[in-house]
Structure 1
């Protein structure tokens, strides 16, 4: 690899990867560069939506800097940014997406959730998401359905425009944890029922009963911890009976 400098071919691969919707980590693997290098390169040269290989290469070589188009102050994709530089918001969003993907969230769902989290209002319409992420309405719909099922977002109707808005509340993670706890409780109940039917003295029955007991103890600890810290950090704590 020729030193630490990115070649024009490297930058063309980066641009192609961004167009395909690849993560920075995936682009790094494609170009043989560290993820941090790809992140810095993109953020220094217009962000995911404004990156151009040739312009980035000219800037990197210190040539024809005056020909680079200035970063727009506002654009159709800057809804809810609170006047911030879109490149900064893109950088925070991109880092969030990477972490969410590593935690197991599908890429498109991670992009939509990160967009909502990095918006001051915590809410965007489908049209906002289409413009901001440059994805199709169908992709937005699929991602919203998944995130709603995980109790991470909810839908609201804008009374003025009558458009449907997708909202991530300040306690979205708490709500999702509690929903997950309810699902895990159902699994524990199913294990207990299976153990009774098979007989708790049989190897299979004992395995199911052990799983039931393990899940119940973990869920109990998780719920109590989540409720405690939700009370500490939220101005609108929820009643503890919600998980019953």
Structure 2
């Protein structure tokens, strides 16, 4: 019902809508939900290029089961026999790595403290005692981390408890993949503007190829055998068809459920190594097709091949 929690069927409709190239507002109308609900659901579960209905459903169940623990840290130390000084030293080293990556020092210390606590959570007072800093310092740090969406808040009586988000690394990975692809596209566009045979164009093209391959490695990630086989079957169907097909047309041709086709298309896009040397692409009409992978050929090679074909 509108305003209630998304169901498994809702998530299948969202996955199908993304595969068909619909925007969030169109998908929201299909499932009868606010656009903001669909936007948050997709962002929380891999983004438009990585959303999977089954994975999103499992992640939601895990979050529903999870309860923020309130037991003090010393209980874990007693149970597991940890040395308090060794744990503190590791947390500081962990925080130093985050600082080297660009995170402000206090925010890094707070995040490292949460990660090295079995509950993964703490109140501001607990963090202040643990890190031996003022409550104001903790307040600024958690506000910063909250803005990055790497921690979440929960009410605990009159206090707030802060907890690490289990999806933080996946979301960081997704952001990294998007940024890398943006660099690749910008460099490729620059190579076209300056001309691949000029020094500037050649330099930009080399840069674009590097970031395209780096993005492919980041975006690839692991894929299980069954999912990989489904993606290869869909790619083979697109090659055989020789014309763009919608997920619905593919599902009918392969006699597969639409959800399986949608997942296979997502895997084909997210794991370019599966489709090598071709790549899966979608058009504005929501249909999919295959093309020669862009980073396999330089601009000059593509132009010479185009002249031979004409």
TM-score, structure 1 as length reference: 0.50
TM-score, structure 2 as length reference: 0.41
| Relative contact order, higher structure (CA 8 A, sep 6+) | 2
